[in-house]
Amino acid sequence: MAGSGSILGNAVLRLEDPTLLTGEGRYVDDLVEPGMLHVSYVRSTVAHGTVVSVDVGEAASMPGVLGVYHAAGDDLGLPSFQGFAMMPPTLNRPIFAGTTVRFVGDIVAAVVAETKAQANDAAEAVVVEYEPLPVVTTPMAAMADGAPLLFPEHGSNVCFGTEFGQDTDPLAGSDSIAEVTMVSQRLAGVPMENNGILAVPADGGLTLWVSHQAPHSIHGSYAPMLGLDPDKLRVVCPWVGGGFGPKAAGYVEHVVAAKIALTLNRPVKWAESRSEDMVSLVHGRDFVMTAKLGVTKAGKIVGLDGNVIASAGAYPAIGAILPMLTQMMSVGVYDIPAVRFKTAAAMTNTTTVGAYRGAGRPEATQLIERVLDIAADQIGMDPAEIRRVNFLDPTSFPLTTPTGANYDSGEYAKSLDAALAASGYAELRAEQARRRAVGDTMQLGIGVSAYVEVTAPVGLHVEFGAVEIHDDGSASVFAGTSVHGQGHHTAFAMLASDVLGIPMAKITLVNSDTATVPRGSGTLGSRSLQTAGSAIHLASKEVLDRAKTIAAHLLEATADDIVIGGGGVHVAGVPARVISWADLAVASKDASRLPSGVEAGVLRHELDFDGTGSTFPFGAHVSVVEVDTETGRVQMLRHVAVDDCGRILNPMLVAGQQHGGIAQGAAQALFEWVQYDAEGNPITANLMDYAIPSAAELCSFETSNTQTDSPRNPLGAKGIGESGTIGSTPAIQNAVIDAVSHLGVTHIEMPCSAERVWSAIATARNA
């Protein structure tokens, strides 16, 4: 990718950071419009019930209140809200719960007032009477015979399912069969910036300022709901304080605020509280998974029999179909000749489940890596060695797995060997043996995981990009992806600067605005560099070709003799006669300065890059933990990650993604868990009760990379945004169990809290 003297492949400081560090970035809740109103939502306090009555009398008469909207009164005339296109319309979410509420947090009414405090006070004055209905909070309970139905007209709580290889016996011929049933627990996204929207009407249209990951996606769905022609709706994402998947979803709250703004012809803002965010922003994971893995005495995998039951939450969205990705990625990095797999997603009286960092792929890795450790233990084989003997042959790529994943490239043993070497694996095992021999209360656990994931999945391998040179010699790069902290400005400016020679400081990123970027799929699925980056790279080359053609005409040379240098272009060997980028931009629009056959126009090129398919990053992680066998407390000592994201553009950006991803994966392994009581009440709906780690709970991460180019884009790049999360979680869980496996412990569910670890030790000792 990088040539001689290229900036690519080097650590380059982020262009975004000065704005972040000085606090100059403006987020949705920083935006203020003249005459701005505020909306507050009345949310259900019961998980499942019939709405008997909604009394808005007192609220409507309170100071500053301009309207109270609900199903039995003024409902704004909005259609029902479709969570995901693959779900039947009968499962659409009503804008306001009129007859039935289905989870704590369901919207019963909306109050709009002059100030946020007035709106909140009035919302608290709305009196709703409920007749409680039976509740199901787990997918297993939702699928049980006689379970109460969330949508009786649907006839079942199951909303999606897949089957694969049901006519085969994948375990035939096995010498040993390892089995595990495990939970990938429900998680909250907890972005630093909560959800929010500012809707500003003007000239019969509307501008929505939204904290979101995919502005074009919600533009396409919100415009028809609001009764607007597409050109009358503009969606802009300003600075966005984290997304992690939940901010790729559409939200009823957005549409209601927007419709109120249109109805009252005044700007309307909704900015949620943290406790509101914990029940209204879509959750992630919530899978119950079973695997049976057949192996020979030599450790070779014979086949996999897997099953996933997932919670879709109350109103099924993309989370309901994510088990399909888990099925596709279930074989991981291994040569597994036979697979049988079955999935089902069930509706429950809980917050809707959506995408969360990795979205279906972490669960696949968690399952295969956990059952592989069990298999290794059963046949007395080292966990690292059982992985090595089953890796797919690197000479066989590209290949299609039995479950239909089209892997582009991979050298899995290379990353595992690098991780084992960096961790000092043999020495760690020796220290573990020493502690076990002396009965030390502080036992050492070593966990290994090897993973592959899919980036730019399910058709997301196409993206818009453009490059334009301005009359002052500066440039803009346009991307259909959307920034929420990853370093896109730096990455895309590097790509354009490398081709054009324009300093990065003179290159502006334009994104996240449907008025200035015509189309785009947003930022999700670790896709930005390989798609939008490739588009910008190719667009830069097209701009350079036009610039060379113009310069060749003006300098009376051939285009092949024109080279970059001196702030513009010149004839090779004649650097004294430079045509600046500013002059090239002006000349490009002046027909009198152009050669015959070249049309006058802005010095710009735009295109849609198509990578033709997904890419498949991979890697290996080694986790080292210490477990206090008297208290169950787990302490991370080391975490070694070797991730392969193809050709690396900027190692500083890659390392940042690795560190953030590992921290998020560790959080699932050890801390985070959205919980409900038997009546469906959330018991972890604020940061007093929902555990997330600070830096003090984590160790320093040791990250490095191998580089295996992808053939599916000109940069050779694969995604890195979710890899750390996918590789770290099973390594850490395996490490915790490994620390106490000699005591008879075979499995501990995540999060591996002190209470759970202590209980597992006590149970094993009593047995």
Query: DSSP string spanning 527-589?
Result: -HIIIIIHHHHHHHHHHHHHHHHHHHHHHTS-GGGEEEETTEEEETT-TTS-EEHHHHHHHHT
| Cβ atoms within 10 Å, residue 351 | 28
Q: Burial of 298 by CB count in 10 Å (0-12 exposed, 13-18 middle, 19+ buried)?
A: exposed
Strand partners, 475: 469, 507
pLDDT of residue 368: 98
- The amino acid that residue 712 corresponds to is R
Q: CA-CA distance, 641 to 2, in Å (whole number)?
A: 25
Please enumerate in sequence order all residues whose Cβ is within 8 A of that of 509, keeping only pairs 6 or more positions apart, or say none.
Answer: 476, 477, 479, 483, 488, 489, 492, 493
Q: CA-CA distance, 520 to 515, in Å (whole number)?
A: 12
Q: CA-CA distance, 473 to 502, in Å (whole number)?
A: 8
pLDDT of residue 2: 52
Q: CA-CA distance, 517 to 354, in Å (whole number)?
A: 26
Interior/surface letters 163-195, b for 16+ CB within 10 angstroms, e for the rest: ebbeeeebbeebeebbebebebbbbbbbbebbb
**Structural domains in the chain?**
17-24+462-610 (3.30.365.10), 32-133+200-272 (3.90.1170.50), 287-457+613-766 (3.30.365.10)
Paired tokens of 16: 């975004």
Please enumerate in sequence order all residues whose Cβ is within 8 A of that of 263, keeping only pairs 6 or more positions apart, or say none.
Answer: 67, 76
Q: CA-CA distance, 477 to 468, in Å (whole number)?
A: 7
Q: What is the 3-state secondary structure (H, E, C) of 223-265?
A: HHHHCCCHHHEEEECCCCCCCCCHHHCCCHHHHHHHHHHHHHC
| Cβ atoms within 10 Å, residue 76 | 18
**Angle subtended at Cα 468 by Cα 465 and Cα 470, rounded to the nearest 5 degrees:** 160
* Residue from 136, 245, 84, 71 nearest 679 by CA: 136
Paired tokens of 403: 């479950």
DSSP 517: S
Q: CA-CA distance, 598 to 750, in Å (whole number)?
A: 63
Q: Which residues in the chain land under pLDDT 50?
A: 3
Q: CA-CA distance, 345 to 309, in Å (whole number)?
A: 6
Length of the chain measured in residues: 767
Please enumerate in sequence order all residues whose Cβ is within 8 A of that of 512, keeping only pairs 6 or more positions apart, or say none.
Answer: 215, 236, 237, 238, 240, 482, 483
* Residue from 105, 37, 104, 465 nearest 259 by CA: 37
Q: What is the 3-state secondary structure (H, E, C) of 97-128?
A: CCCEECCCCCEEEEEEECCHHHHHHHHHHCEE
Strands 634-644 and 618-628: antiparallel
Please enumerate in sequence order all residues whose Cβ is within 8 A of that of 616, keeping only pairs 6 or more positions apart, or say none.
Answer: 405, 407, 408, 409, 410, 452, 453, 454, 455, 710, 718
The reported pTM is 0.97
Q: Give the residue carrying structure tokens 């969330």.
A: 150
Strands (E), 185-335: 196-202, 205-210, 233-236, 268-271, 287-295, 301-313
Paired tokens of 655: 């390392």
| Cβ atoms within 10 Å, residue 755 | 12
Q: What are phi and psi of 582, to 5 degrees?
A: -60, -45
Q: CA-CA distance, 383 to 620, in Å (whole number)?
A: 12
Strands 268-271 and 37-43: parallel
Q: CA-CA distance, 308 to 288, in Å (whole number)?
A: 6
pLDDT of residue 4: 55
